[in-house]
């Protein structure tokens, strides 16, 4: 039986997100990001299409690298204004039963004790459908908003992240036993104090001496997402991530990174298949090739290269406003920038990329590929990607929201189902159970398991 | 025409809240605090009863003063476990149209830049129905969870709070002009960069050099709630608060504090009526006095004095486990403790209070009074309180949830409406408009107004 393809929708609590300028398309509704009805209808649409999850990006700070100021980001609405992603989830969760929510939170400015409560609360409210995309940020503008001259150096951010994970695992896994809450109305005992303990963490970056504020939630540790591409980021993902999100324009760009992750996982005691890998992609669908192409050409008219370069400048830390549009891209100096650029330019090692070509590529769907065509053509492409790269599924960005997802649900999903490549219904249980067909809790091979109050009967895992 | 009485429901994202042990009552449903359906039905019930708002308390840390450990708090479920209050709001907001949400957030452990975005996001999502209850915390256990030996001294907490308010006012009021977002699809300009500016705050506690992440929300600054009772707290309330929440068992305890606040407001350039004052109260209703009394007696059987003293010990910082139950209360040594105790004991200056009597009083509805009787009797009491103390309304705690509110909505509200003392429908607009019949934005007399991007036409205010 062919491998089932997993699908996430990729969005952010702002206009446009990965498609620069397309907020101006007459059918785009992402301007309504401020309204709960927009998100509730969005979540219901995704659940109708049996999407595994809604992956919510988030960025703190402003993309002010391009042109050395925030003007371009503001003018193009390049992920600014951007509202908090956590606060839209409960409305969507109440209107759905199965859809997962993978939400991005930058840990660099969070108190682990308070953050751990937020995620436990969401895991309770969603009945186990919450995931956390662990990021450490990339914008100096965020650091300046927090009283620091610039952000912490990249590798040190990952050292802090490593300790942060240890603290939150202790809170989620080690503070309350599963049987701690008795709710014994006869004996008038709500919690058995013997089954709750303070975690005592004294590390280089965090000191936490506390009982977790929340009783155990369905998953305890939320499903861990990660998207880092640097060597440190890859190691972090191989150790902690249960879902990894990769961005690149081609199979050539993605396949070696998938292989690398699967190779690294066992060095942390995990199995290669303990990590579900999703690649960024944008699809434009039509009943015929001509119809899909016409739709794509129409979208294209709204794309803005400057908006795209504003994002690229923020991702890489390099001001692309300084370059001539026809200049070849070879000016990226810092490591994050080189990685980001390589993700684009090694798509086809035999060609060169100019600044203009990068801008054109990124303007719709970001760094990922765009596939345009009939449901059969797009389904072929998805299957081909799965076989060629070893990924498990896709993070599908939108060109025009919610139109892109309406097309996917109505046209692509039935085609994938006919091919036996896509679920006809959700599995029961928590997000982790749905995706991995195992327990709601992190498997014993996951680093969170080391911090458990007491070991669970290991046979089940 | 008699003054309309304003009503808030007083709850917390935990079991029981102000009524110790009543989670064990067979009809209490607060065990479902982890479920969205519980909160959505709760909000819909309150809106059916035309409640002005749901006031959500929150406490970081564990009540571990009583008996010098967390055991009693855990056993009695004394506000532990406690989930995050912000994350239940969007589901409730989507299921209601008018109900306001006053949510408690302790600013002592928050980054103002990130916190400001949370509140702006909620103000967008609720379409202007969000309020923030400003607190600085009172539990050392929270400080220990955040790597500090103990919490910052009381008065310094208020100095930090003062600067925190300045920062968030700058972000909410001063970063984006009302006309900044053009969303001009023709000219492809989302935001006019000339109408957005970085706030540059360099103070003793915070350094923030940033553009607010959110576009202007309906209220910009959320409606400001406060509940402080110390001299510093009262000054803070007189300056910043638009709603003040007072707790005391009697009119004698509340009236001087109301007078004090109304007297202080003009020293900060505000009018006495710029502050709506709510007093804590718990009501137990029945069709007849006998029925109400029987209900109260039934509730009483579930109340736990030890649970109540666990809360009192946390509020005052004094371990009440050390005292004999029949000892008179006169051992409170710190200022916060003295204030809290006076709030109880000056109810009737002619009597003395033993530890046992304090426990019995606090066990249902916390420090506030309990009024038991027919709708007419309870309505008489509410009217009498309004006249005698000068308050504007009540924060109604529950004995048994949601039963207490079902009784209020079905029995008390119609009685108050018949007397012309309660609205028959909500006013349109934002929470601030509904409560003050003015603008959605803070009035020019409020300190937030000093930080506006540019003055609004002042005639309207």
Please report the beta strands in A162-307, taking only residues with DSSP state E, as ranges in sequence order.
181-184, 189-191, 199-202, 207-210, 223-226, 243-246, 276-285
Taking CB atoms and an 8 Å limit, are A111 and B146 in contact across chains? yes
In B, minimum Cα distance to A13 occurs at B121
Residue A123 has pLDDT above 50, yes or no: yes
C-alpha A61/C-alpha A314 separation (Å) is 10
Residue with tokens 């998805």: A382
Question: Which regions in chain B score pLDDT beneath 70?
Answer: 330-350, 454-461
Map residue A284 onto helix, strand or coil.
strand
Chain B residues lying within 8 Å of A74, measured CB to CB: 190-193, 196
The pLDDT confidence band at residue A348, using thresholds 50, 70 and 90, is: low
C-alpha A286/C-alpha A299 separation (Å) is 13
Map residue B343 onto helix, strand or coil.
helix
Residues sharing a CB contact under 8 Å with residue B64, sequence separation 6 or more, in sequence order: B70, B73, B139, B141, B314
Distances (CA, A) of B388 to A21, B257, B384, B394, B395: 61, 12, 6, 14, 17
C-alpha B298/C-alpha B302 separation (Å) is 8
Tokens linked to B218: 């309906």
**pLDDT number for residue A345:** 64
Taking CB atoms and an 8 Å limit, are A210 and B83 in contact across chains? no
Residue A449 has pLDDT above 60, yes or no: yes
Sign of the Cα torsion A143, A147, A149, A152 reads: negative
Dihedral angle over CA of B271, B273, B274, B277, nearest 10: 130
Three-class HEC string of A146-157: CCCCCCCCHHHH
Dihedral angle over CA of A163, A167, A168, A169, nearest 10: 90
Q: Which of A233, A232, A78 is nearest to A141 (CA)?
A: A78
Q: Which of B91, B84, B86, B97 is nearest to B51 (CA)?
A: B97
CB distance B101 to B9 below 8 Å: no
Map residue B216 onto helix, strand or coil.
coil
In A, minimum Cα distance to B139 occurs at A210
Taking CB atoms and an 8 Å limit, are A83 and B37 in contact across chains? no
C-alpha B99/C-alpha B53 separation (Å) is 5
Tokens linked to A51: 């999407």
C-alpha B123/C-alpha B139 separation (Å) is 29
Tokens linked to B49: 């009863």
H/E element holding B305? helix B305-316
Sign of the Cα torsion B13, B18, B20, B25 reads: negative
Taking CB atoms and an 8 Å limit, are A15 and B114 in contact across chains? no
**pLDDT number for residue A81:** 98
Taking CB atoms and an 8 Å limit, are B109 and A114 in contact across chains? yes
Q: Which of A86, A87, A119 to mutate to test the interface with B (most CBs of B within 10 A)?
A: A87
Q: Which of B82, B165, B161, B150 is nearest to B334 (CA)?
A: B150
Tokens linked to B325: 């139950």
**pLDDT number for residue B345:** 64
Chain B residues lying within 8 Å of A76, measured CB to CB: 188, 190
In A, minimum Cα distance to B168 occurs at A145
CB distance B331 to B318 below 8 Å: yes
Taking CB atoms and an 8 Å limit, are B83 and A214 in contact across chains? yes
Region A323-339: mean pLDDT is 72
C-alpha A83/C-alpha A14 separation (Å) is 6
**pLDDT number for residue A347:** 57
**pLDDT number for residue B228:** 75
> What is the CB neighbour count within 10 angstroms for residue A441?
25
Q: Which residues pair with B244 in a beta bridge?
A: B226, B277
Tokens linked to B432: 């601030």
Q: Which of A444, A240, A299, A282 is nearest to A368 (CA)?
A: A282
Q: How many residues in chain A?
A: 461
DSSP state of B271: -
The pLDDT confidence band at residue A231, using thresholds 50, 70 and 90, is: confident
CB distance A192 to A182 below 8 Å: yes
Average pLDDT of chain A to the nearest whole number: 93
Percent of chain A whose predicted confidence (pLDDT) is above 90: 83
Q: Which of B331, B396, B448, B439 is nearest to B45 (CA)?
A: B396
Dihedral angle over CA of B228, B233, B238, B240, nearest 10: -80
Question: What's the ipTM?
Answer: 0.96
When CB atoms are compared, the residue of A91, A144, A190 closest to B75 is A190
Chain B residues lying within 8 Å of A80, measured CB to CB: 191, 211, 213
**pLDDT number for residue A336:** 59
Chain A residues lying within 8 Å of B217, measured CB to CB: 34
C-alpha A434/C-alpha B377 separation (Å) is 55
Q: A105-127 burial, b for 16+ CB within 10 Å, e for fewer?
A: bbbbbbbbbbbbbbbbbbbbbbb
**pLDDT number for residue B458:** 43
Region A319-345: mean pLDDT is 73
Question: Left if phi > 0, otherwise alpha if psi is -120 to 50, otherwise beta: which for A17?
Answer: left
Q: What are phi and psi of A8, to 5 degrees?
A: -115, 150
Residue A456 has pLDDT above 60, yes or no: no
When CB atoms are compared, the residue of A37, A75, A93 closest to B189 is A75
CA A362 to chain centroid, in Å, comes to: 18
Chain A residues lying within 8 Å of B183, measured CB to CB: 23, 31
C-alpha A94/C-alpha A81 separation (Å) is 26
Region A94-103: mean pLDDT is 98
State in Å, rounded, how far the first CA of chain B is from the last one.
24
Map residue B406 onto helix, strand or coil.
helix
pTM comes to 0.96
Region A208-233: mean pLDDT is 94
Map residue B418 onto helix, strand or coil.
helix
**pLDDT number for residue B328:** 83
Higher pLDDT, A118 or A453: A118
When CB atoms are compared, the residue of A34, A36, A120 closest to B94 is A36
Residue A292 has pLDDT above 60, yes or no: yes
Distances (CA, A) of B247 to A156, A443, B93, B254: 48, 48, 27, 7
Chain B residues lying within 8 Å of A198, measured CB to CB: 70
Taking CB atoms and an 8 Å limit, are B210 and A34 in contact across chains? no
Taking CB atoms and an 8 Å limit, are B121 and A214 in contact across chains? no
């Amino acid at each position: 039986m062919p491998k089932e393809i997993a699908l996430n929708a990729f969005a952010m609590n702002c206009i446009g997100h990965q498609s620069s300028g397309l907020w101006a398309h007459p059918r785009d509704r992402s301007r309504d990001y401020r309204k709960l009805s927009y998100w509730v209808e969005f979540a219901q649409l995704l659940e109708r299409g049996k999407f595994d999850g809604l992956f919510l990006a988030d960025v703190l700070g402003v993309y002010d690298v391009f042109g050395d100021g925030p003007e371009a980001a503001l003018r193009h609405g390049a992920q600014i204004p951007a509202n908090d992603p956590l606060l839209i989830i409960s409305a969507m969760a109440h209107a759905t039963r199965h859809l997962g929510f993978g939400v991005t939170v930058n840990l660099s400015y969070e108190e682990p004790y308070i953050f751990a409560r937020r995620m436990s609360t969401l895991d309770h409210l969603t009945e186990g459908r919450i995931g956390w995309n662990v990021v450490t940020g990339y914008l100096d503008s965020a650091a300046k908003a927090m009283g620091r001259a610039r952000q912490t150096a990249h590798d040190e951010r990952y050292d802090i992240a490593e300790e942060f994970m240890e603290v939150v695992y202790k809170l989620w896994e080690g503070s309350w036993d599963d049987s701690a809450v008795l709710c014994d109305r006869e004996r008038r005992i709500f919690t058995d104090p013997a089954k709750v303990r303070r975690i005592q963490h004294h590390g280089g970056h965090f000191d936490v001496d506390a009982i977790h504020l929340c009783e155990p939630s369905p998953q305890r540790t939320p499903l861990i997402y990660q998207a880092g591409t640097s060597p440190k980021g890859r190691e972090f993902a191989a150790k902690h991530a249960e879902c990894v999100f990769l961005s690149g324009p081609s199979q050539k760009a993605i396949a070696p990174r998938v292989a690398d992750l699967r190779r690294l996982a066992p060095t942390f005691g995990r199995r290669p298949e303990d990590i579900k890998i999703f690649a960024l992609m944008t699809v434009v669908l039509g009943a015929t090739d001509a119809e899909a192409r016409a739709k794509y050409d129409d979208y294209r008219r709204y794309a803005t290269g400057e908006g795209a370069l504003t994002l690229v400048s923020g991702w890489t830390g390099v001001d692309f406003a300084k370059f001539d549009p026809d200049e070849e891209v070879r000016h990226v100096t810092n490591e994050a920038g080189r990685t980001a650029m390589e993700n684009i330019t090694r798509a086809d090692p035999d060609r060169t990329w100019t600044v203009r070509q990068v801008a054109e590529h990124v303007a719709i769907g970001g760094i990922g590929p765009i596939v345009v065509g009939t449901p059969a053509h797009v389904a072929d492409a998805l299957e081909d990607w799965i076989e060629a790269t070893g990924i498990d599924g896709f993070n599908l960005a939108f060109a025009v929201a919610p139109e892109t997802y309406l097309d996917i649900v109505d046209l692509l999903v039935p085609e994938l189902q006919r091919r036996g490549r896509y679920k006809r219904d959700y599995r029961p249980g928590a997000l982790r159970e749905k995706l991995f067909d195992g327990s709601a809790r992190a498997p014993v091979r996951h680093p969170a398991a080391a911090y458990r109050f007491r070991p669970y009967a290991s046979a089940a895992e």
